[in-house]
């Protein structure tokens, strides 16, 4: 967990349950709460002018949802939508700020987390600017594995479908399928029961 559930609850966080495909917030909404995933997965996305979905991140248990926008006066640039039934801890912006002011170690943890995410976002931007599908796909897989403590080879099951990888990398699904097979032959990843392990 990014912030312990006990500490969040001590500052007034409440549990909210969302059904599959439910919107937590929309693009252009004003951030009012700190959200942390307790169960389930949430995607951050937008839609381009043709209506094609672009996924920026898929957040799992223990991760926060667009917390960086609580530090600036800007609206959300993405939507937050659940994949499955989700349980989320929700803390008001004012209480979140008080929590950080009164808990310097937690504040440092948040700064470290934000720095790591920003670093990997730069890596993703660099990878997605490549004309080589293998660079884009491997970059996306490495980004998701970066959220875990265990970095040993093939220890992490990617929680994404081929379609979701395509949405993250701006590639066609067919290209992703071919690229994943090629990366498996090269020993970059393993496929077990159609699941990708890196």
Compute the distance between CA of residue 65 and CA of residue 34 in angstroms, rounded to an integer: 7
Are 147 and 163 a contacting pair, CB within 8 Å?
no
- Rounded to whole angstroms, what are the CA distances from 146 to 69, 172, 189? 22, 24, 15
Per-residue pLDDT of the chain (198 residues; tens, 9 = 90+): 789 999 999 999 999 999 999 999 999 999 999 999 999 999 999 998 888 888 888 898 999 999 999 999 899 999 999 999 999 999 999 999 999 999 999 999 999 989 988 887 788 788 888 999 999 999 999 888 887 888 999 999 998 899 989 988 989 999 999 999 999 999 999 999 999 999
Would you say the C-alpha torsion 125, 127, 132, 135 has a positive or negative sign?
A: negative
Strands (DSSP E) along 63-131, which ranges? 79-82, 86-92
Are 140 and 165 a contacting pair, CB within 8 Å?
yes
């Amino acid at each position: 967990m990014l912030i312990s559930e006990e500490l969040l609850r001590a500052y007034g966080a409440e549990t909210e349950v969302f059904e599959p495909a439910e919107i937590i917030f929309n693009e252009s909404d004003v951030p009012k709460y700190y959200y942390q995933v307790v169960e389930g997965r949430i995607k951050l996305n937008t839609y381009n002018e043709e209506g094609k979905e672009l996924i920026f991140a898929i957040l799992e248990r223990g991760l926060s949802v667009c917390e960086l926008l609580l530090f600036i006066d800007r609206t959300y640039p993405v939507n937050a939508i659940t994949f499955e039934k989700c349980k989320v801890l929700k803390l008001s912006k004012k209480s979140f700020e008080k929590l950080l002011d009164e808990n310097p170690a937690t504040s440092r943890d948040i700064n470290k987390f934000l720095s790591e995410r920003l670093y990997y976002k730069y890596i993703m931007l660099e990878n997605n600017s490549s004309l080589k599908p293998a660079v884009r796909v491997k970059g996306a897989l490495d980004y998701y594995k970066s959220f875990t403590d265990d970095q040993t080879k093939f220890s992490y099951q990617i929680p994404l479908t081929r379609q979701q990888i395509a949405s993250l990398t701006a590639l066609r699904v067919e290209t992703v399928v071919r690229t994943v097979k090629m990366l498996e032959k090269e020993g970059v990843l393993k496929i077990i029961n159609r699941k990708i392990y890196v």
